[in-house]
Amino acid sequence: MLRGLFGSSKQQLIAQMGSGDNTLALQAIKELRAKGWFRDGSLRGIHLHRANLQGATLAKADLERAVLQEVNLMKAYLGETILRVADLQGAILCEANMRNVILAQANLADADMRRAYIPDSDLRAANLSRTNLQGTNLWQAKMAGANLSGADMREAILYGAQFDMNTTLPDGTNWTPETDMTCFTNQEHAHFWSLNGVSKRG
């Protein structure tokens, strides 16, 4: 079955990429990349609902507006991938390498992004509501206008991350220059905010 993949049409390979069988999905990705279909727009808007792409290398792929709901991208390499306006609701992105990824206006609601590596990425106006961001590296990420309501940000790395007055914080308030983000990331903070709405504020 794997041998039959090579020489398949673009549509067949994209369909195979959406497989729940990790081996077949990764083989399709290898062929799509070899044929130059990663950056030419061929993957824009594709539907890969619940595909098993664990450990996949999707670096520099153009997945703008792709529907990736509940896709397994655990430990995948997505460096410089374009995911603008993509739907990643409920996706598994634990420990994924997403350096310099474009996720502007993407829907990441309810996604599991624990310990993901997302430095220097564009998350402007992204929906991160109820997203698990425990231990996620968001070093110098652009997060202006992002919706973080209900997100779990314990131990997230936010050094140099850029917010603005339109960024919605986990507690539903908006970011201001006076906001101390460690009240969401550091459980030892005197005013730590937790997901159940209980804080140490008394």
- What is the pLDDT, as a whole number, of residue 8? 73
Amino acid of residue 88: L
Looking at the domain assignment, is residue 135 inside a domain? Answer: yes
Both tokens of 146, joined, read 């992002």
Looking at the domain assignment, is residue 170 inside a domain? Answer: yes
- DSSP letter at 175? P
Helix ranges restricted to H, 46-88: none
- What is the pLDDT, as a whole number, of residue 197? 55
Q: Is 63 left (phi over 0), alpha (psi -120 to 50) or beta?
A: alpha
| Cα-based distances in Å from 117 to 76, 96, 99, 101 | 10, 6, 6, 10
Both tokens of 22, joined, read 């990790």
| pLDDT mean over 77-91 | 98
- What is the number of structural domains in the chain? 1
3-state DSSP call for residue 137?
strand
Q: Which domain holds residue 197?
A: 44-202
Looking at the domain assignment, is residue 2 inside a domain? Answer: no
- DSSP letter at 172? S
Residue 15 neighbours by CB under 8 Å, 6+ apart = none
Q: Tell me: the pLDDT tens digits for 108-151?
A: 999 999 999 999 999 999 999 999 999 999 999 999 999 999 99
Is residue 123 within 8 A of residue 103, CB to CB? The reply is yes
Looking at the domain assignment, is residue 23 inside a domain? Answer: no
Euclidean distance between CA atoms 61 and 78, whole angstroms: 8
- What is the pLDDT, as a whole number, of residue 16? 96
Looking at the domain assignment, is residue 17 inside a domain? Answer: no
Question: Nearest-5° angle of CA 50, CA 54, CA 60?
Answer: 95
Euclidean distance between CA atoms 182 and 115, whole angstroms: 17
Euclidean distance between CA atoms 185 and 134, whole angstroms: 8
- What is the pLDDT, as a whole number, of residue 198? 47
Say what the pTM is: 0.91
**How many Å is the maximal CA-CA distance in the chain?**
65
Binned at pLDDT 50, 70 and 90, residue 100 comes out as very high
Binned at pLDDT 50, 70 and 90, residue 194 comes out as confident
pLDDT at 52 over 50: yes
Domain CATH code at residue 119: 2.160.20.80
Q: What mean pLDDT, rounded, does the chain reach?
A: 93
Looking at the domain assignment, is residue 168 inside a domain? Answer: yes
| pLDDT mean over 57-75 | 97
Which residues are paired to 97 by β-bridges?
Answer: 77, 117
- What is the pLDDT, as a whole number, of residue 70? 98
Looking at the domain assignment, is residue 10 inside a domain? Answer: no
Looking at the domain assignment, is residue 7 inside a domain? Answer: no
